[in-house]
Amino acid sequence: MEYKTILRSVRSAPRKTRYVVDMLRNKSVPEAQRILKYTPKRSSYFLLKMVNSAVANATNIDVNITPDNLYISEIKVCDGPAFKRWRSASMGRASQVKKRTSHITLVLKTIAQPAKPSGQARPEAAAKRPKAPAENEKESKTK
């Protein structure tokens, strides 16, 4: 099952936020929380709050879900609206400063539980194994 969370207009530049987001792709939720807790970037604070919120949303939807059963399947950062400000420059001029914002989308998925082994070897695997010729066995016994 997928659980989607969107955080809009985060006051952090998309280019700087993508640096942190790239560390989180395909990680389990507890591992992502550990990474974000010790990452010294401003956007890691917003991302940690977002991951915690996404886990809370998932547990509200399905009571049997725990953070250990979830992983970050998709996370992307898009440009948000930019605040345009002016800064004084030399000779009476002004230059524009863009204070950029980000839109972050996070998708959590449940980890697929591996099938329980039945204890027997698969018959297909046994049929595909090449059998050694009898001549090679005789030669190795005589040596």
pLDDT at 139 over 80: no
| Domain edges within the chain | 2-112
pLDDT at 133 over 90: no
Which overall architecture, per CATH, does domain 2-112 show? Alpha-Beta Complex (3.90)
What is the predicted pLDDT for the residue at 1? 87
| Mean pLDDT within 110-135 | 62
- pTM of the shown model: 0.74
Is the separation of the CB atoms in 29 and 55 below 8 Å? yes
| Mean pLDDT within 62-81 | 94
Lowest mean pLDDT among 76-80, 112-116, 122-126: 122-126
What is the predicted pLDDT for the residue at 63? 87
104 phi, psi to nearest 5 deg: -115, 130
pLDDT band at 118 (very low <50, low <70, confident <90, very high): low
Is the separation of the CB atoms in 99 and 87 below 8 Å? no
What is the predicted pLDDT for the residue at 143? 55
